[in-house]
Amino acid sequence: MAAKSSPSSRSDRKTQQQLIDRCADIVNLLVGAAKWVILGYFALQAVRALAGKTTSASFALVVHWLSSGKLPMVVAWIGACLAIIYGLLERQLRRRKTAYMQDRIKKLETKIDGHRSSSQLTKTGDTPEER
């Protein structure tokens, strides 16, 4: 039989867990801040490298393209494509999880009601095709 832990040892564990949580929060905050500092540093270095120098026409074309108003449309298309890909991946994940949990669910439903009729859904939770 396991010995019960004393209230003081539980309190010590809770305090220790809170300390670990706070340290993890601080590290997470520092990593996020460092990311922006590094990004700013490299952006500054890029501007310094181009400052006062004659650049090629290709750079001017990129600036013109970005300022021509086509950027919002490109960003919108990229966002739409990413949203579609995300939706398809989530759908695939849901079907995999449903198939994985199917046997467990059937056992639990039979345990609750042994005379339960089947819904005739596929293993992935879809409606079966008419044959």
Q: Summarize pLDDT for 91-114 with one digit per residue, the tens.
A: 999 989 988 888 888 788 888 887
Q: Summarize pLDDT for 29-61 with one digit per residue, the tens.
A: 999 999 999 999 998 888 888 777 766 666 677
DSSP character string of the chain = -PPPPPHHHHHHHHHHHHHHHHHHHHHHHHHHHHHHHHHHHHHHHHHHHHTTS---HHHHHHHHHHHTT-HHHHHHHHHHHHHHHHHHHHHHHHHHHHHHHHHHHHHHHHHH-TTPPP----TTSPPPPP-
Give the predicted TM-score (pTM) of the model.
0.41
